[in-house]
Structure 1
């Protein structure tokens, strides 16, 4: 089982190499990606079952023990997020494969997309499983290097501009991350997360606060927390639908995961007031920004920012219940946000525009597409009995129970949820109601946008529907899921299961 921890990192990396070797055979290249990600889903499920039953599973690379050696750690939190992230990655890959077939034909190969896609999966897996700060930095660089390629493929003027915004911001946050790692090592003599749990507590309070603030700023940029969110609505909307769905579903959540891990394990005193303020600002600014948008993808991007605030709120509560609420929310949001961007891609291909005031009547002309939008839209708004309702209810209960300050911000959660519902209703009224409009021609011939249902594969609809089913399954399994995330939240607060598994009984 210890060896199994390495497979979510090794399999996509080896698959990327194999995809390059078989690049002249499109069928083989597609099969490699699907088989590899399916295998990783199976491995992640096995790790989750084992971690829930036996506690954190640790792989010591090269036989070197922590804190000297590199360790990969699969506990309830990392295994659960790894599983749901890989499921979403697989669905997005299936969508992307059929989009490319619809646009360019079955015989057209891609020498870059499939290898880079698998490299991105490698970085995400390593980020979840890494047991030390430096390899966490390596994971982000793997992930971001792959994302640079994906966001600038099939270049147009808008994609070059948005890609530069994304790359410059990511490089800045990476520089801050590396600086933080260097300062932590200089102050403590270690970068192992479990070892830091004991050593950081021995530092002067002022230095602890400085390091905690650097961590919040670094991963606040990566997670698009207000006021560090400016890059996301300018970057994501211009990428192809599968790329945007993958980024929206995974990349910002990895940033929130690292904040969860570091603020509970390394800086357990927390910055509660600051995190509460940031959570409230992120929820409100993101939701209000969404209401001002006419571009469908920009609207969804601002809602993505808003809902990062929900996850940050659970961390700010800093109780087992609050952290459990954050984990539930991440699981639900990874699925629903990716689904909405895939649906947006289908809408855009059918209408030929991203401007919602130029759409209309899709409920009549494309009823199945209307259903594919309605379910994740209601889920994101948090209406019962969806997974979004379960996640928000968990957060609200934790916030009200934690005290007056958090109860006030819990009210902001309700306000942001109502604004989200209004934004989803606005999309529904303008895009799906009214009289159907004639599809507009694509103004940019270099874009991957192809107008017309004849060029939209049914399998693209099937991949999107698969994610809708996953979201419904999350709601149906709310009882076992909340039990599991409750135990994960308790582990984060207690810290002992993680540190003992990595360092041994004497830690």
Structure 2
């Protein structure tokens, strides 16, 4: 497997190189799209390659040849590879959509010289956050996202976009400052920001100090993931941006925050001391978000509130602190990235055909654009959780994990999840009926929908359906990912050299558990928890 480690940095390096190239080619608007699309195709191929390879164990690259914990590591395990693959598919489809929109609008909505390098930098930031093996590099990934997203959200320079961009940048900067404070506190306490080494050292510090560090990190990530009550910024920021920008923001940016929560909660703070707090936050995010969606008369704002609401489902799975909960949460993240992005792209087409996203002004679109009605209906039902679509399967997994937990609070979350799903379905059906079937105030004028915009949208919807038809293998993959998160030695052994693996209680794996699993690729004997050689880390039965 070590022969394939050169693939790990490609999802970061390729878009950064392409961003510089497209910036140098700003006088050649016909060449820029070729470079951008080619780069993202290569990123998708490398991400899928990592998805396959990581199933045999994490792949680790020491940047600059400096081994952990001194140097920066890029780590592709099952979790990061899956998130990377889904996000790469989404960014490619959104880019193709935006290119078709730009051509049809004569490039007014997306200035080419700015858009391409910024979009590629955004893709690199997402990949860097997913692959990073230390907290500071995750922070760098977030800052790359912040810089690129501020440019994208203000494209066109309209008053509404500048106002929304200002709100977004202020909130993002506050979150970044909080993250930086948390980083300083972590380093001052443990002497490292390497995730694998932190997994060894954090159990050795004072429990009160450890809880403080956990709270600081959770607050920073909760803002970025739009978890209630730190989510008020999102519905005001996203709807004003161009449709492709809103789509990629909705699909990816909040999920990077969710990924950071999964990674830190499972690897650094597996004791579950804040699980009850996270469950209450998940419930509030679900219910208040969906109540906000039900009250909206604009499709973009409605979808923005459903985005907030469904972050609560992911947080529910994380807070269960069980292998079943984590597996369901990971599957639901992959589902939500594709479906939410597809819905925002469809809404861009609705705005193009109907001239508005206001449900009071829209109507009769099914008559003039029946294909558009289908394009909206399928992902809407998927998001609403209609059987047997992936939204239903993900929610069913979360509900089963909640029932298995058996605590009163878990049952409250199960009920809250069911109510939220029903209200999501109600809100989306209401939007579909008003936009496509009610009598319009003014007879809509038929407007052509460029195939370049319809094609990528349909492709994302198909990806959502693939998550349904391939649910068995995919869910099994997420279960293996959750199993690796549970053991933790899979990650620690792959990253740290032998000399850095101290004795301690950080791996939280018993000798019996260690004996049931194979050692990860690239690992050596010598459990950081003191488990016997030949140790844990991967599911021999599953991977055989």
TM-score, reference length from structure 2: 0.89
- For the Cα contact (< 8 Å) 1:365–1:436, is it kept in 2? no
How many residues are paired up? 494
Aligned-residue offset at 1:63: 1.3
Alignment of 1:269-284 (within 5 A): 269-270=271-272, 271-284=274-287
Q: Using a 3 Å threshold, how does the CA distance of structure 1 residues 435 and 133 change in structure 2: closer, same or farther? A: same
Alignment partner for residue 434 of structure 2, among 430, 435, 443? 430
Alignment of 1:142-157 (within 5 A): 142-157=144-159
Aligned-residue offset at 1:150: 0.2
Q: Deviations over 1:417-469 (max 9, x none)?
A: 001000011101111112345378xxxxxxxxxx9624x41210111111111
Alignment of 1:117-128 (within 5 A): 117-128=119-130
Alignment partner for residue 465 of structure 2, among 472, 480, 497? 472
User: Is 1:483 aligned to 2:438, yes or no?
Assistant: no
Alignment partner, residue 395 of structure 2:
392
User: Is 1:12 aligned to 2:15, yes or no?
Assistant: yes
Q: Using a 3 Å threshold, how does the CA distance of structure 1 residues 168 and 105 change in structure 2: closer, same or farther? A: closer
Aligned-residue offset at 1:394: 0.8
Deviates more, 1:78-87 or 1:360-369: 360-369
Q: Deviations over 1:79-136 (max 9, x none)?
A: 0000000100000000000000000169x97111000000000000000000001111
* Secondary structure of 1:357 counterpart: coil
Alignment of 1:367-406 (within 5 A): 367-404=370-407, 405-406=409-410
User: Is 1:349 aligned to 2:343, yes or no?
Assistant: no
Aligned equivalents of 1:487 and 1:11: distance in 2? Answer: 29
Alignment partner, residue 448 of structure 1:
none
Alignment of 1:300-379 (within 5 A): 300-379=303-382
Alignment partner for residue 162 of structure 1, among 152, 161, 164? 164
Aligned-residue offset at 1:362: 1.1
Aligned equivalents of 1:453 and 1:24: distance in 2? Answer: 31
- For the Cα contact (< 8 Å) 1:26–1:109, is it kept in 2? no
Aligned equivalents of 1:470 and 1:436: distance in 2? Answer: 32
Q: Deviations over 1:318-364 (max 9, x none)?
A: 10010000000000000000011011111011111121111111112
Aligned-residue offset at 1:178: 0.6
Alignment partner for residue 262 of structure 1, among 256, 264, 267? 264
* Secondary structure of 2:74 counterpart: strand
Structure with more helix by fraction: 1
Q: Let me know the Cα RMSD of the aligned residues.
A: 1.3
Stretches of 4+ moved more than 6 A in 1? Answer: none
* Secondary structure of 1:228 counterpart: coil
User: Is 1:460 aligned to 2:456, yes or no?
Assistant: no
TM-score, reference length from structure 1: 0.96
Structure 1 residues without counterparts, runs of 5 or longer: 441-450
Alignment partner, residue 535 of structure 2:
none
Aligned equivalents of 1:295 and 1:427: distance in 2? Answer: 9
Aligned equivalents of 1:340 and 1:222: distance in 2? Answer: 21
Structure 2 residues without counterparts, runs of 5 or longer: 498-523, 529-544
Aligned equivalents of 1:469 and 1:493: distance in 2? Answer: 32
Alignment partner, residue 515 of structure 2:
none
Aligned-residue offset at 1:26: 1.9
Q: Deviations over 1:211-231 (max 9, x none)?
A: 111111100000000000010
Aligned-residue offset at 1:408: 2.0
Aligned equivalents of 1:127 and 1:346: distance in 2? Answer: 31
Alignment partner for residue 61 of structure 1, among 51, 60, 63? 63
* Secondary structure of 1:59 counterpart: strand
